[in-house]
Amino acid sequence: MISHASISVWAWLSKPRAWLAALILFSAAGPVIADTVYLSPDNFLRETFGTTLPQPQFLWLDDKAQAQLKAIFGHPYPQARLRYWRAVGKTAWVLEDTGKEFPITAGFVVKDHKIDTARVMIYRESRGDEIHYPSFLKQFSGTHLKDDELDPGIDGISGATLSVAAMKRMARAALTLDSLLGPDL
């Protein structure tokens, strides 16, 4: 037996304007994203420095620093200053860059002008999250800048091209920012 309510719905859906209204309603909602948190900033810092965390320091992004970051990201970095942590010959940076549509938050540890550790902390894209796997991230260990590019190079991941590119840009930025710091006191 068909109820009166189901007949009303079918009658409404048989009208072209109803389909157009439904299409507009659902497309206006935009993509739905869910943040996947692989590592909190606190845990990233504990992994890097142990239980005694150094105090955060700030690097003001002056015109020179912004020019260098613009060359890496294609736009000025959206902050006037960046927080970093430094102790025992290492600096830790938490950076963000857009993959395809949404920001990726990653942590980088720089030691002796080379990437010591790279970690994906928060991933917001619908695909390409393979960049958080250790098998991909271990490629960054030991990389340094040579002619403003990572050396040795980083192999990509099929289907994650834009996320890989974002990680490479952030690694270059971490190395560049580290080079702007004075000696560790």
Alpha-helix runs per DSSP H in 38-179: 41-49, 63-73, 134-137, 161-179
**Are 25 and 42 within one domain?**
no
Picking from 75, 33, 34, the residue whose alpha carbon sits closest to that of residue 166 is 75
Q: pTM for the complete prediction?
A: 0.81
26 falls in which pLDDT band (50, 70, 90)? very low
Phi, psi dihedral angles at 123 (to 5 degrees): -120, 130
**Are 117 and 101 within one domain?**
yes
DSSP bridge partners of 79 = none
Q: pLDDT tens digits for 133-178?
A: 999 999 999 999 999 999 999 999 988 999 999 999 999 999 999 9
Confirm whether 18 is domain-assigned. Answer: yes
Instruction: Print the domain residue range for 175.
Output: 36-179
Say if residue 179's pLDDT is above 50. Answer: yes
**Are 45 and 118 within one domain?**
yes
DSSP bridge partners of 98 = 103
- Calculate the average pLDDT of the chain: 86
